[in-house]
Amino acid sequence: MSFDSILMFVGVIIAILAIIPRAKLLLIKIKVSWFDIALMVICCVIILYLLFINSFLVFGVSPGWNLHKWKITPSNSIFLILLSLSFYLLIRYNCFSFSIRKINKVGRLIDNMIQEGKYNDLIDFLDKNFKRLNDITNRKTWYLKFRDRAKIKRYPRLEKFFNEETISLKDRFINFLILPLRILPSFDKCSSESENIISRIVLNEDFIEFIVKSHSYIFLKFFDINRYYQSDFVNLIFRKLLSNNRSILYTELENTQNLNHYSNYWIIDENKLIYFLFNDPTKAEKLAIWQPIGEYFIEKMGYLHRHPELDNFNTNIQNYYESSRWKSDVFIAIHFFDVMVSQALYKNIQWHMRLYYYNYFVEEILKNHKNTDMFYDPNDEWPTKYEYLIYQIFSNMENWIKSLDEIDINQENVKIENTHLTHNNGNIPVSAIITIGLSLKSLFESTTISSKFKYYIFSMIFELYFYLRNQESLLDYSILLAKAIFYKIEMTYQDLEDYYSFLDESFEKHFDKAPIQFERLTEFRNILANRGNNL
């Protein structure tokens, strides 16, 4: 290459840098290390030497490699150096992350993107670098791990004296090797700054809203932050997902309808959010995702209670079941709990996943329910959308309990030690049974729900009782359900005579007893006569 060619090359580089946005320039500064700068300086020195090689040869300044034997001239050497340097910098920019020392510049870059609304650029940056940020925050980079280990001073003799433990020879050897690391910087401030950066990202409502609208899955990376603000982020993202009926949450839940049996949903990896949460339900348990979903539902019901003119759930069901329900935040919240609890049940999660929210859902629906719509017909299966939602809640709980038929009865989260109807947080079916009992009582006390619909729901639960009673392995569960039906839950001392009279009428006049064995009917009538006191 000639001197003019090099000037043109440098001019092109300067022109490109002049038109690059400030955010991109900051990113380049972040990616370029002192080693890169040193390498570029060395290359420039070599290029200058090659440009003026004849003058240097006059003064006898030559490496003496005799490269001309292989037809390597100063011109093509310069070309190869520039090509190799460009190739190296390209790889360095695209494949390597920033150093810990650059964390303040990273913060400025991210703040710049947020302030200018360059959320697509921010998503691209986080897609490649969020793990690095999180590792610096949690001090999990290889350097920080060794540096933190070097902080620990071990005194083998004292540990042996106090703890009766000895340190292995391997640990002693490693400790000896990393002692020099104590003189190196610990970057504690960098870790704190990285934590602040992440909090500014994941708690920025405008950015989270953009993620939801753009259907980006970048937020799945944010679930791994494991810091004090994680619950705030989980609450924010799920509320944003629920408030936008075009979000991926709605799409994926609509795609999660196929069942193996009862409530065992197929969780496919194409539904990235649902797969992330429920393929291994311990993630959902750790994130406590029931809280934002449940609270959103309750707040939505409260809002509709204050603004009844906006409440369209008291209207005729029309095409709600066929299509509209999948764009309804209220129904989506109910279905979300169904998928969450069923996956926890089948995958042996020993926690009820706060399924008790279903009782609050029923109570909130009943507060809002009215039978004043001009098209209200108490003889319909679901006179309004609210009745359909109540039915769906009871149907989901019924299916969780029926799932006992295909789950090993000795599985930890379904095993019961006795037939006392007390809270058992590790047993999902027992928690569901308690919720059914509480919800039945709330339904009975409603003054706006038609008697026909009440009989309909109570008949579902009577049918569930006989389903359990007809299987010897599920006998204890049938007893627990009977206690729940009669409201024998923990320490509930109430005047229940009206409720028991309703049970009598519901069972004798409205429950289809044709498929039930006579002995079972006689047994249940005896339970009714004794108000459940003989269970």
- Where is 251: in which H helix or E strand? helix 248-254
- The mean pLDDT value for 54-67 works out to 61
Tokens 């006989």 locate to: 466
Q: Is residue 114 domain-resident?
A: no
482 within 8 A of 535, measured Cβ to Cβ: yes
Q: What residue type is 8 in one-letter code?
A: M
225 within 8 A of 198, measured Cβ to Cβ: yes
- The mean pLDDT value for 365-392 works out to 92
Phi, psi at residue 265, to the nearest 5°? -75, 150
Least confident of 5-19, 170-184, 331-345: 5-19
What's the pLDDT score for residue 500? 92
Q: What is the pLDDT of residues 509-519, one digit of tens each?
A: 999 998 999 99
340 and 487 co-located in one domain: yes
- The mean pLDDT value for 502-531 works out to 92
Q: Is residue 214 domain-resident?
A: no
The answer to whether residue 19 scores a pLDDT higher than 70 is no
The answer to whether residue 155 scores a pLDDT higher than 50 is no
Q: What is the pLDDT of residues 478-493, one digit of tens each?
A: 999 999 999 987 656 5
Q: Is residue 8 domain-resident?
A: yes
506 within 8 A of 454, measured Cβ to Cβ: yes
What's the pLDDT score for residue 233? 96
The tally of domains found in the chain comes to 2
The answer to whether residue 267 scores a pLDDT higher than 80 is yes
The answer to whether residue 161 scores a pLDDT higher than 50 is no
Q: How confident is the model at residue 91 (pLDDT cuts 50, 70, 90)?
A: confident
Which CA distances in Å does 307 have to 57, 75, 177, 300, 389? Answer: 91, 80, 69, 10, 19
Write out the residue range of the structural domain in which residue 51 sits. Answer: 3-96
Could you tell me how far CA 271 lies from the centroid of its own chain? 13
Cα–Cα distance, 97 to 366 (Å, whole number): 55
What's the pLDDT score for residue 49? 72
Q: What is the pLDDT of residues 460-474, one digit of tens each?
A: 999 999 999 999 999
265: helix, coil or strand? Answer: strand
Tell me what percent of the residues of the chain surpass a pLDDT of 90.
56
Structure tokens at 269: 């990896």
What's the pLDDT score for residue 162? 43
Least confident of 128-132, 238-242, 357-361, 435-439: 128-132
Least confident of 92-106, 210-224, 334-348, 354-368: 92-106
| Per-residue DSSP letter, 488 | -
Residue scoring higher pLDDT (449 or 20): 449
Cα–Cα distance, 160 to 154 (Å, whole number): 11
| Residue where one domain finishes, among candidates 96, 125, 151 | 96
The answer to whether residue 475 scores a pLDDT higher than 80 is yes
Q: How confident is the model at residue 227 (pLDDT cuts 50, 70, 90)?
A: confident
The answer to whether residue 323 scores a pLDDT higher than 90 is no
- The mean pLDDT value for 132-145 works out to 90
Cα–Cα distance, 339 to 14 (Å, whole number): 56
3-state SS, one letter per residue, for 79-99: HHHHHHHHHHHHHHHHHCCCC
Cα–Cα distance, 493 to 489 (Å, whole number): 9
Structure tokens at 401: 């309990």
The answer to whether residue 149 scores a pLDDT higher than 80 is no
Structure tokens at 317: 């069901």
The answer to whether residue 169 scores a pLDDT higher than 80 is no
> For the chain, give me the number of helices (H) and strands (E)?
26, 0
Q: How confident is the model at residue 242 (pLDDT cuts 50, 70, 90)?
A: very high
Structure tokens at 475: 């006998």
End-to-end, the C-alpha distance of the chain in Å comes to 97
Q: Is residue 505 domain-resident?
A: yes
Tokens 């409260």 locate to: 302
267 within 8 A of 275, measured Cβ to Cβ: yes
The answer to whether residue 262 scores a pLDDT higher than 50 is yes
Least confident of 184-188, 354-358, 465-469, 519-523: 184-188
Cα–Cα distance, 199 to 195 (Å, whole number): 6
- The mean pLDDT value for 34-39 works out to 80
Q: Is residue 105 domain-resident?
A: no
What's the pLDDT score for residue 158? 44
The residue among 208, 233, 222, 225 whose CA lies nearest residue 126 is 222
- Where is 363: in which H helix or E strand? helix 357-368
Cα–Cα distance, 491 to 486 (Å, whole number): 13
Q: Is residue 329 domain-resident?
A: yes
440: which residues sit within 8 A by CB, 6+ positions away? 457, 458, 461, 484, 485, 487
What's the pLDDT score for residue 444? 95
| Residue where one domain finishes, among candidates 96, 130, 145 | 96
Q: What residue type is 493 in one-letter code?
A: Y
What's the pLDDT score for residue 505? 94
The answer to whether residue 441 scores a pLDDT higher than 60 is yes
Structure tokens at 3: 């001197």
43 within 8 A of 9, measured Cβ to Cβ: no
The answer to whether residue 48 scores a pLDDT higher than 80 is no
Could you tell me how far CA 507 lies from the centroid of its own chain? 43
- The mean pLDDT value for 273-286 works out to 95
- The mean pLDDT value for 21-40 works out to 73
- The mean pLDDT value for 85-91 works out to 79
35: which residues sit within 8 A by CB, 6+ positions away? none
Structure tokens at 333: 């919240």
106: helix, coil or strand? Answer: helix
| Residue where one domain finishes, among candidates 96, 123, 138 | 96
Structure tokens at 172: 């002693």
What's the pLDDT score for residue 495? 75
Rounded CA Rg of the chain: 34
What's the pLDDT score for residue 160? 45
259: helix, coil or strand? Answer: strand
Q: Is residue 477 domain-resident?
A: yes
Q: Is residue 137 domain-resident?
A: no
396 and 255 co-located in one domain: yes
Cα–Cα distance, 224 to 471 (Å, whole number): 44
